[in-house]
A and B are shown apart, each in its own frame.
Chain A
């Protein structure tokens, strides 16, 4: 982690600018950003800890609490809403047995709604890991869930934490 952060920091004349990239690197490694990780980031960059804390809590892509191995981020902004995202949310809540914002007891899935993902041509759309899944309907969502459950059965916990399973 230190090495990657130092490479990123070399892109800026000011170490403070490297806090965001450093947090993205740290989150990729740890899955989320608990206090000790934030402090480690501050120490690597030699910046004030409060600067790191304030970014980790301001930007929505940073998670200070753990999230599931598969973080289902369903867009519910207007273009997706107009093409049925509400029904998809209700379906996901029903089949996963959790409300939005919740995580399944096995730690496999966290369900969130997010603001516009910038992929309205394939609305309704959902982001999981680095990948977008578009033109969603209930059948497609069920197929994706099945695929992720199967992948989870075969993968180790560490693989899942990386959550780098390809999408399309």
Chain B
């Protein structure tokens, strides 16, 4: 039986309060880090743990931290990416609502490692309860000396500010987030320079996801070997999986990285509703190409899913059963990406607009011969031709739907109606 770590306080009454967090050993990792380790040693611990970013890209966290130039005279910043917008994803919201101190402790240790004295949590403006809980937790931590000046008697100073987003999916893209934090419309920047060198206010900046930061105290307390021992060596650790869609028990599950998708969907989430069969599963949020029922034995980790032609992404697992029209699912997902395109790059802005028009007419039974080839051509025109991965995610998802469910698209065009209605 896997012992939950990240979610251990989820069902504890008042788990969001400092007293509860402290009673469970909270802030001991911060004390240990400040007392026993130099910042470089913390970076090494995280490198040795093989922790990879939980926001979606899976970049090695310790390596990202090591890119921050140590000699820079500019202030360094830590940004927590809490702009959880990938459809099917809700893990970060639940951490912040129910165990916000876990995040704050992780941020304090991470800031100590990279030499930052200021952090911003960029959180979705919709997340009212999470915002209130995080504000309360920051105030508690400040009052208790876990934040502020000379933390726990060390010479480390650190403050955390909350910055509320205002409804733009693109802010989850780290450079768009930086522009948004600087008070601009959120549009991605060209890299290089990478944020570690030139990020917020052109200063060295590390941007980490909520779940990534929440792993850090546990790595300090239990050691990198413990973390690396859970799941695949190159992609290890406890992992939060968000189960939604047509399953009997949707919810947030903490299990080892690399667990088979089938076990997650069928055993933990209870499988599809009675009398239905699984048709496809989107394993990592709407950007991730879907996986067919016969592919469900794939391991839920960065490398296994990449090898299977999909991605772990944000681990937003969306289950689709056999009563559902895949043309409709594909249309709704592409409408989302079209709505959220920031408008900076022409292939994404105009291409997705065109894709939506074609998909809507196919779905409505008004598609014409050549529409599927048109969609393929549009995907090709978008993929790889934009500043950020928004357009790529849309194109990859649609290409997978076209490849696996071509017969459903063809049926819509030939029968001039949706066969599911």
**A4-35 vs B: 1/0 string, CB under 8 Å?**
00000001111111111101100000000000
Q: Known contacts A120-B316, A121-B250; is A78 also within 8 Å of B166 by CB?
A: no
Q: Known contacts A79-B245, A82-B324, A130-B128; is A59 also within 8 Å of B339 by CB?
A: no
Q: Known contacts A20-B166, A54-B185; is A82 also within 8 Å of B246 by CB?
A: yes
Check: A165 CB closer than 8 A to any chain B CB: no
| Residue numbers in B under 8 Å from A55 (CB-CB) | 166, 183-185
Check: B340 CB closer than 8 A to any chain A CB: yes
Q: How far is the CB of A162 from the nearest CB of chain B, in Å?
A: 13
Check: B124 CB closer than 8 A to any chain A CB: yes
On whether the beta carbons of A18 and B183 are closer than 8 Å, the reply is yes
Q: Is the interface of B mostly helix, strand, loop or mixed?
A: mixed
On whether the beta carbons of A115 and B166 are closer than 8 Å, the reply is no
In the complex formed, the residue of A with least CB distance to B185 is: A58
Q: Known contacts A13-B201, A21-B164, A59-B166; is A78 also within 8 Å of B329 by CB?
A: yes
Q: How far is the CB of A137 from the nearest CB of chain B, in Å?
A: 15
A60 to B169, CA, bound (A): 10
The bracket for how many chain B residues form the interface is 35 or more
* Pick from A59, A62, A83, A115: contact of B87, CB under 8 Å: A115
In the complex formed, the residue of A with least CB distance to B90 is: A118
Check: B12 CB closer than 8 A to any chain A CB: no
The bracket for how many chain A residues form the interface is 35 or more
On whether the beta carbons of B84 and A118 are closer than 8 Å, the reply is yes
Check: B163 CB closer than 8 A to any chain A CB: yes
On whether the beta carbons of A121 and B242 are closer than 8 Å, the reply is yes
A118 to B167, CA, bound (A): 12
Check: B336 CB closer than 8 A to any chain A CB: yes
| Residue numbers in B under 8 Å from A76 (CB-CB) | 332
Check: B207 CB closer than 8 A to any chain A CB: no
On whether the beta carbons of A115 and B340 are closer than 8 Å, the reply is yes
On whether the beta carbons of A123 and B250 are closer than 8 Å, the reply is yes
In the complex formed, the residue of A with least CB distance to B171 is: A59
* Pick from A16, A23, A60, A117: contact of B182, CB under 8 Å: A16
A30 to B88, CA, bound (A): 33
In the complex formed, the residue of A with least CB distance to B132 is: A130
On whether the beta carbons of B167 and A59 are closer than 8 Å, the reply is yes
Q: Known contacts A121-B244, A123-B250; is A116 also within 8 Å of B87 by CB?
A: yes
| Residue numbers in B under 8 Å from A17 (CB-CB) | 163, 181-183
Check: A103 CB closer than 8 A to any chain B CB: no
**A31-75 vs B: 1/0 string, CB under 8 Å?**
000000000000000010001001100111110000000000000
On whether the beta carbons of B87 and A14 are closer than 8 Å, the reply is no
Check: B125 CB closer than 8 A to any chain A CB: yes
In the complex formed, the residue of B with least CB distance to A16 is: B183
On whether the beta carbons of A83 and B183 are closer than 8 Å, the reply is no
A51 to B180, CA, bound (A): 12
Check: B117 CB closer than 8 A to any chain A CB: no
Check: A1 CB closer than 8 A to any chain B CB: no
| Residue numbers in B under 8 Å from A120 (CB-CB) | 87-90, 242, 244-245, 250, 316, 318
A129-151 at interface with B (beta carbon < 8 Å): 129-132
Q: Give the A-binding residues of B (Cβ under 8 A).
A: 84-90, 92-93, 124-129, 161, 163-169, 180-186, 201, 242-246, 250-252, 282, 286, 316, 318-320, 324, 328-329, 332-333, 336, 339-340
Known: A118-B93, A119-B90. 18 other contacts (CB 8 A): A16-B184, A20-B163, A20-B164, A59-B165, A59-B166, A78-B87, A78-B286, A78-B329, A79-B87, A117-B126, A118-B85, A119-B93, A120-B89, A120-B242, A120-B250, A120-B318, A121-B251, A121-B252
8 residue pairs A–B, Cβ–Cβ below 8 Å: A17-B163, A77-B87, A78-B336, A81-B332, A82-B244, A117-B126, A121-B250, A123-B245
